[in-house]
Structure 1
Amino acid sequence: MSLLKDLNQEQLSAVMHKNGSLLIVAGAGTGKTTVIAQRIAYLIEQGLTKADEILALTFTEKAAAEMEARVGALLPVSYFDLWISTFHSFGEKILKEHGLTIGLPTDFKLFNEFEQWALIKKNLDKFNLDYYCPLGNPTKFIQALIKHFGRAKDENISPTDYLKYAEELMENLDNMLSGNKNVKSKCKTKKFKTAVNDQQLNINLENFYNADNEFDQNIAKQEIARVNEVANAYHVYQQLLLDNNALDFGDLINYCLKLFKSRPAVLEKYKKQFKFILLDEFQDTNWAQYELIKLLINNNKNLVVVGDDDQAIFRFRGASMSNILQFKKDFPESKEIILTKNYRSNQNILDLSYNFIKLNNPNRLEWQLNQKSPKQSIQNVTGQAKAKSQKLNKKLIAQNEQKGEIEVINKQTLSDEIKQVIEKIIELKIKDKICNWNDFAILVRANDSAKVFINELEQAQLPYIFGASRGLYLKPLIIDVISYFKLLDNYHESRAVYRILNLPIFSFTYQELINFNFLAYKKAWSLYETLINANIWQPTKELLEKINKVLALINKHTNLVKSKTVSEIFLAFMNDSGYLQYLTSQDDQVSKEAINLLNQFMKRIKAFEASSDDKSVKSFLEELSLEIEAGGGGNLDVDLDIGPEAIKILTVHGAKGLEFKYVFVVNLVDKRFPTIERSEQIELPNALIKEILPTGDIHLQEERRLFYVAMTRAKTGLYFSLAKDYGGLRKKKPSRFLEELGLINNNDNDLECSNKSQNLKLTPPAPSLSGKISIQKSITVPSYFSYTQLVAFSHCPYQYRFAHILKIPVSGKEQFSFGKTLHITLQKLFSLINEKKGLRQANLFSSQELAENITLEEVLELYKNSWIDDWYESKKKKEERYKQGQKILTVFYKKYKNNWPKTLFLEKGFNVKLADDYGWNTIRGVIDRIDQVGSKIKIVDYKTGQPKSKLTFDEKEQLFIYQIAVEEIFKQPVASLAFYYLDNNTEVEFLGDKDDLAKVKEKVILTISKIKKGVFPPQPSQLCKFCDFKNICEFRQS
């Protein structure tokens, strides 16, 4: 079977595992992602289950997208959308559909950390804070409170639980003061390792004792007041979220737990649906997430978890390593498969790493499962039988026989260390003829350590990418945009004006800018006043033209800023100034990097507009200022694959899941790696913690696992660097980890392995090396195609380049906002109908009668809540459209209120497979509605705009593709295709015959083959006047 041909025996066993729970212990580089993707594909291809009966959860959107792409590439069959997502996306999806049944709004907003901070600051007086609200800096502890509330939610601790804990704490204090010795004895117990439930809180009063271990009533009262303050703040915060129609990320899991526990019909629905559940990175789950999964397991217990306790590095995010250690206790009959064949690293690198991580014993799965003593082994819940498990050996075996290079770079100063690291990179690059810059990674413990390496790489003219997750607002391109916003908000903001005058699109010379500044200083003018008074100081004609160009742009947008949203001003600036055209005229890779940043900033702007009534530039700048005050710098989504080849600078956390030929772990000195343990500003009471806490130095064990992750990223070369002098008064000691590895002598810090290049001097790369830094002009073929992509390419390949390669942000359109509003309303309407039919089975009324109970007022309320307020040219036009939508929905309601269509699926995603000479291609789409009419299937697609009574073949193509998908997935013919024109509530029905479908397949495959060539020539036509990119396209037809 081709799907399984490249798997080793352990991987094959994991992929082909059919029923029952399974723990896959997957060491670094053993093909974990391959196993998960191939297992999903195997289950579907073998007909063991359907695509939407598999739930696969992971921790990042990128990992979920990669897994979905891998599965799609493996499957030769069409299928409906997979349930592959992050935990939070899964929770959001469930709550959007069923949250109403537990009193949640289905259109809730999801608050990020800044929005949480802003919510608390705005309502700070409602929290009644004393201990956590110092007079000189009242917002000091907001961030700490947010993190504390998040930790509570990781443990599924509700505000009610916390308030109950505070109340029982006071009761125990009262008992102690009244002389109850039993309570006092209990309070002084230091046992924090017993998990507790919500009903039986284990109250611990250790904090009531002073340094002499004597009970102190004043300390006790202050501590209880503090706990009560936090509990009350948590309660107020949660209520504020609900008052603002919002949830935070922790709520997505906890409300799902509440939903499933309080609405058994909903839980049963998903238990029946998900016949197979897979969890990636199981060691990174928190207590609440694991509880959610245990609820979803059906009687077959088809749960596969994949993880490695030695790579559990996200405790600061609430991850509970105890979950993977507890799995055998929760599922005593589970099978284990150990993946130890490593396809990444050389054996000596693996041996060094393995011997190092064993220092974390006994808090490792390998050690715990291998203990022979019944007291030490993990037993089942009843304690009557030992969990069935094989002898666990996690020593990784390299699948190549080469020996890797392990080297320590030990220098006198930080500057010497940096230069030596970069010199070593250059040396390896010259020596290894087949490697490229993507093969090198510099791993730092914290983002702050990266800056000095970045500066030196720039001086050495070496290409690099810094994988920081924050810093969008510090990118030069984004600073340009923000500066223009500030200029429009205040003409006399001279720093912003100066920034804009420096843009290459305006072509001012350095001398001209100096003269502007001199005149401004001489005349006591702002820089803007210097420009508008240009006639007074009589510039040259050429210079005056440039000045007038800037002033004309500012004047135009000054008029717009009074009535337009910040996103409209953003796009107007990029288009009208010529900045967007300038960026898109660069090499494709340079353009993609710039447009990627603009898209991320546009996403931030749209998030602001979605949550704000005032969508003006001024209001946006105020929120931006508030975000920066809160410590934010703009979330940055760095795509390491988007640009040309480059050295990667990453934190060790950011390098998780990646691999490189040569890895440099830098700054390995005491207190930098491992770091000093910093306790949380507001610690969660141990009595409330439900996970089982490990023994020993938890922080050191986490740092050791992090270091293990850093080492196991390396394929061929692993280099550790350090220095004695980092600028402080004292010399730095080497990291204890280097001593534990046996690479540094404890006595005199001499090296036990060679340091061959201590005396090399840093030089710029040689010409032959520099030539390889050139940008690779290659086109990345998408992993799937959509109907929209195919149409764009057919109309004009150059338009396809702008829209789908560069992904240039574009202005929205009124008709799109209106059409999307109606689509969302109808989706919510039919979801409500299905909810009433499916979840009130105990009701005396029939399903149809329950559906008929839906009123017109409910429909119009759904419409009101779904209204998209963007891109209307005037308030009057917006009001006209709103009334038009009310009329459309009123007619729709009256047409169907006594006989609602029986909908099988709403907004159903699909993946249809079409083969060409080179393999399978995936076409992805979403069907508005699939109805059951008798025993047959009908596909419905909503349309707004001018209704049509007759359709051309090209106009039918979209639904022909839908027909192909549905017939292949359902294995039964479609009875009817229908465009439903909402403007006049009419339908146009048709059906594709064999010749129609064959013609569409042929056309789609031909279009895809052209896209894959990576050539996108302009194709000017009458359609140019409707193109979103006409203003930046020099080939447009006039």
Structure 2
Amino acid sequence: MNEEILINLNEKQLNAVKTTEGYVRVIAGAGSGKTKALTSRFAYIVKYLGINSSNIICVTFTNKAAQEMKKRVKKLIGDSFDISLITTYHGFCVKFLREDINKIFYPKGFLILDTEDQKTILRNIYTELNITSRDLSFKQVFKYISNSKKGLDYLNYVLQNKTIETNKDDKLLNTIFQKYLEKQKRNYALDFDDLINFTIYILTNFDDVLNKWQNRLHYIQVDEAQDSSENQFQLIEMLSRQHKNLFVVGDPDQTIYEWRGAKPEYLVDFDKIFPDSVTIIMNQNYRSTPNILKIGNHIIKNNKIRVDKEMITQNPEGIDVVHFHGCHEFEESLWIAKEIKEIIKIENAKFSDITILYRANYLSRNIEQALIKENIPYTIFGGVKFFERKEIKDILSILSLINSEDDISFLRMFNNPTRGLGKKFLENLTLVAQSQNLSLFQALKKNIEKTELSKKGAKDFLDIIIELKELSKIKSISDLVKDILDKTALGELYRKDGDEERINNIKELVSSMILYENESQEIVTIQDYLQEISLYTDLDTNNDIQDKVKLMTIHISKGLEFPYVFLCGFTEGVIPSAMAIKERRNRAIEEERRLTYVAITRAEKRFYLTESEGFNFISGSNKYPSRFLFEINENFYIRKGELSQDIINEAKLQLNLNGTDNLEYLNVGDFVFHNVWKKGIVKEVDREKNQYIIEFMEIGKTRPIDFSFKFLTKLNQESTSNRIIKSHNNKEEKVLENKRIQSNESNNKKWWEFWK
């Protein structure tokens, strides 16, 4: 069995396996056999070095990955070894705390809270404080709790009864957080953040426990190290101090979880943190064709937070990568559906060989409609089909109630959002409806003055639907949705909930309505629209077929591979995400570029990039191809669909891609020209706030200027003010700007203003 451990390893994998001592960093590119190297190394340490498997810890990020590693290790070393320390970070912390949490006077049988348990605690707190989700959404509270638990300070309050440091500007959140901690402590309950924080606290404050675990863990292996947070890295660093055998493997180019705490710098700067460390770069890809890898390499090299590498492969050249540009979303999605049929026909492939990736779930709507239209079976991984999502069903139910006054829609919406109409009210209304042979809505309308039905919430709901019925006679469906959201308070509920995806889904629904109305030869009624939509909401569609095209977000696809991959919605504002850029600027652009890289490197045989023209309700502007498309040499792919030079020029102007990308490109001492304040000098570069501090000569004052501000140009010795002014006021830009303004229809503008 020993021989099995080392067979079929390439030179760099073998090097990683046999380098067992000291601090070792392995940069393992996409499809390079990372898991094979990791599990072979574990087996090598056990079988070749004779180390007891219980003295080796191997941490990864998901239970699925941990189970896969255990399975592979067992195959290499047999079933008689203890491999319980092949686990997740949270799994290790649970083992640790079950053994040593008594040090802080907690029982070893402490409770572990899941999300539903946390919600139960919050509901109890809301009742005590006499508040509702209208005052503060659970999402806001969860975010506050998670942010407050990034450090260990809160444990001084929990474990030592010291005063908790709070944010004075958020009194309600502070109060809820404090009560949440008190209820946790009373029940000896830990949430997921607590598991690692309590572990670090005990290791930091009890030397005997630290020494015990350091002595026990002779070898430490970390999978997907680029996704480690500050606390996670601190934990493994503490545990490795005694034997100094820390092996980390990962790929900074695939860091896609910075938004939830991942710090790729720990992997990128590993050689600086541990100067005696060894670095091994595994850059041979076994998955993709050279044509696919070429565009992945070309895009990712633009990132700064990375370890330089170029993925190579010995696979045959394969089929050219394709970029498709559609004149609208329907053309884009229909082209994808027809191309899938071609793949099935030409390559004798199965539907399950094909995967469609997107940046966000709302993008599945057009794709789903096209696949159903072309009778292509599909399944959505990790998500809900578009027309089955709560917020979409809510709006469609109101439309249905306006149109047909049916009971199903009434039951869904009469107390949504809550109007204080409980079980007893519904029982009374049902009895009246049955006795008069009316629908529930008709019974309410006819009997609203009856004592058992004349609730304020019932009258309000009745008035809303009657008013919407009148509005539906004079308004288009896309216009009516705004009134539905406004008058039913659903819009306020979704905004309050803070779930950006719900809002994006509604924008996508309205966008599809506008397109449907524009393409229709006649005025579209509610009945027409609901009939059209019914084609796409049949729950029985293809449910009995296992051979299905897979639809999923790029995040879900990480770690997977597929023969044929389409990345749809390759549009600026979608990828890179406008919201992410707004929140995290150039850090976000790097992560969005990594997301693109992850999508590309999922593909084995064929890869497609698709996008289309139109209006983007998410960013509130016309649609342009993603800036990442312009980072790829046009010789590396073939284009299908007509992408006009006007759109390319306009995109580059809007994205500022003509050599004047201002996202942190100036240095202290650089002279600049501002379109209003003229000449200035950079006095400071503030990377925390993403801004320059610039002193402007003409006004004699300093001003903070955002990194992303377009009309700021670096001056060189040959530059003159006249030349700069000319560059920012040329005719081309004015013409393109006028085109953009004229192309935005009034309803597009109105909807953007409504959701802004």
TM-score, length-scaled by structure 1 = 0.45
Hey, what's the Cα distance between the residues in 2 that align with 1:72 and 1:714? 29
1:755 corresponds in structure 2 to 640
Hey, what's the Cα distance between the residues in 1 that align with 2:222 and 2:545? 31
**What stretches of structure 2 of length at least 5 have no aligned partner?**
394-405, 413-429, 442-495, 502-543, 644-756
8 Å Cα contact 2:325-2:642 kept in structure 1: no
Matches within 5 A, 1:440-519: 440-468=354-382, 495=408
1:662 corresponds in structure 2 to 564
Query: Residue 333 and residue 136 in structure 1: after superposition, are their counterparts in 2 closer, same or farther (change >3 A)?
Result: closer
8 Å Cα contact 2:298-2:631 kept in structure 1: no
1:482-525 CA distances to partner (integer Å, 9 max, x unpaired)? Answer: xxxxxxxxxxx9759999xxxxxxxxxxxxxxxx99x9586359
8 Å Cα contact 1:413-1:726 kept in structure 2: no
1:338 corresponds in structure 2 to 281
Hey, what's the Cα distance between the residues in 2 that align with 1:680 and 1:296? 38
Match of 1:419 among 326, 334, 338: 334
Letter in 1 for 2:306: R
Matches within 5 A, 1:1019-1034: none
Letter in 1 for 2:8: D
2:143 corresponds in structure 1 to 147
Query: Residue 470 and residue 152 in structure 1: after superposition, are their counterparts in 2 closer, same or farther (change >3 A)?
Result: farther
Cα RMSD of the aligned pairs, angstroms, is 4.2
1:725-764 CA distances to partner (integer Å, 9 max, x unpaired)? Answer: 25769641111111122449xxxxxx97232899xxxxxx
Query: Residue 69 and residue 645 in structure 1: after superposition, are their counterparts in 2 closer, same or farther (change >3 A)?
Result: farther
1:672-693 CA distances to partner (integer Å, 9 max, x unpaired)? Answer: 1111135999xxxxxxxxxxxx
Deviation at 1:311, TM superposition (A): 0.6
8 Å Cα contact 1:405-1:716 kept in structure 2: no
Matches within 5 A, 1:117-196: 117-124=119-126, 137-140=134-137, 142-158=138-154, 160=156
Matches within 5 A, 1:727-742: 731-742=622-633
1:122-157 CA distances to partner (integer Å, 9 max, x unpaired)? Answer: 2147779xxxx8x992123x4223113213434445
8 Å Cα contact 1:64-1:85 kept in structure 2: yes
2:187 corresponds in structure 1 to 244
2:324 corresponds in structure 1 to 409
Query: Residue 423 and residue 161 in structure 1: after superposition, are their counterparts in 2 closer, same or farther (change >3 A)?
Result: farther
Letter in 2 for 1:429: I
Match of 1:74 among 73, 76, 81: 76
Deviation at 1:629, TM superposition (A): 8.3
Deviation at 1:70, TM superposition (A): 1.3
Deviation at 1:79, TM superposition (A): 1.5
Counterpart check, 1:718 vs 2:718: no
Counterpart check, 1:652 vs 2:547: no
- The structure with the largest alpha-carbon Rg is 1
Hey, what's the Cα distance between the residues in 1 that align with 2:389 and 2:616? 28
Match of 1:260 among 183, 187, 203: 203
2:505 corresponds in structure 1 to none
Match of 1:365 among 307, 314, 318: 307
Deviation at 1:345, TM superposition (A): 1.0
Deviation at 1:632, TM superposition (A): 13
Matches within 5 A, 1:913-924: none
Hey, what's the Cα distance between the residues in 2 that align with 1:420 and 1:87? 43
TM-score, length-scaled by structure 2 = 0.61
2:91 corresponds in structure 1 to 89
Letter in 1 for 2:263: S
Matches within 5 A, 1:213-224: none
Hey, what's the Cα distance between the residues in 1 that align with 2:83 and 2:109? 22
Letter in 1 for 2:639: S
Matches within 5 A, 1:296-307: 296-307=239-250
8 Å Cα contact 2:112-2:191 kept in structure 1: yes
Query: Residue 92 and residue 496 in structure 1: after superposition, are their counterparts in 2 closer, same or farther (change >3 A)?
Result: farther
Query: Residue 665 and residue 679 in structure 1: after superposition, are their counterparts in 2 closer, same or farther (change >3 A)?
Result: closer
Letter in 1 for 2:325: N
8 Å Cα contact 2:354-2:550 kept in structure 1: yes
Letter in 2 for 1:711: I
Match of 1:45 among 44, 47, 51: 47
Deviation at 1:110, TM superposition (A): 2.2
Hey, what's the Cα distance between the residues in 1 that align with 2:582 and 2:200? 26
1:777-825 CA distances to partner (integer Å, 9 max, x unpaired)? Answer: xxxxxxxxxxxxxxxxxxxxxxxxxxxxxxxxxxxxxxxxxxxxxxxxx
Hey, what's the Cα distance between the residues in 1 that align with 2:434 and 2:371? 38
1:400 corresponds in structure 2 to 315
Moved over 6 A (4+): 125-128, 166-170, 470-476, 496-499, 628-633
Letter in 2 for 1:414: E
Query: Residue 258 and residue 159 in structure 1: after superposition, are their counterparts in 2 closer, same or farther (change >3 A)?
Result: closer
8 Å Cα contact 1:25-1:307 kept in structure 2: yes
Aligned-residue identity in percent: 29
Matches within 5 A, 1:916-955: none
Letter in 2 for 1:64: A
Letter in 2 for 1:753: I
The number of equivalent residue pairs is: 513
Hey, what's the Cα distance between the residues in 2 that align with 1:100 and 1:472? 48
1:312 corresponds in structure 2 to 255
**What stretches of structure 1 of length at least 5 have no aligned partner?**
171-223, 367-393, 480-492, 500-515, 528-627, 634-641, 682-693, 745-750, 759-1038
Hey, what's the Cα distance between the residues in 2 that align with 1:158 and 1:720? 46
Hey, what's the Cα distance between the residues in 1 that align with 2:235 and 2:194? 12
Letter in 1 for 2:109: D
8 Å Cα contact 1:57-1:280 kept in structure 2: yes
Deviation at 1:297, TM superposition (A): 1.0
8 Å Cα contact 1:159-1:231 kept in structure 2: no
8 Å Cα contact 1:444-1:652 kept in structure 2: yes
Letter in 1 for 2:626: S
Deviation at 1:234, TM superposition (A): 3.7
Query: Residue 661 and residue 68 in structure 1: after superposition, are their counterparts in 2 closer, same or farther (change >3 A)?
Result: same
Query: Residue 679 and residue 10 in structure 1: after superposition, are their counterparts in 2 closer, same or farther (change >3 A)?
Result: closer
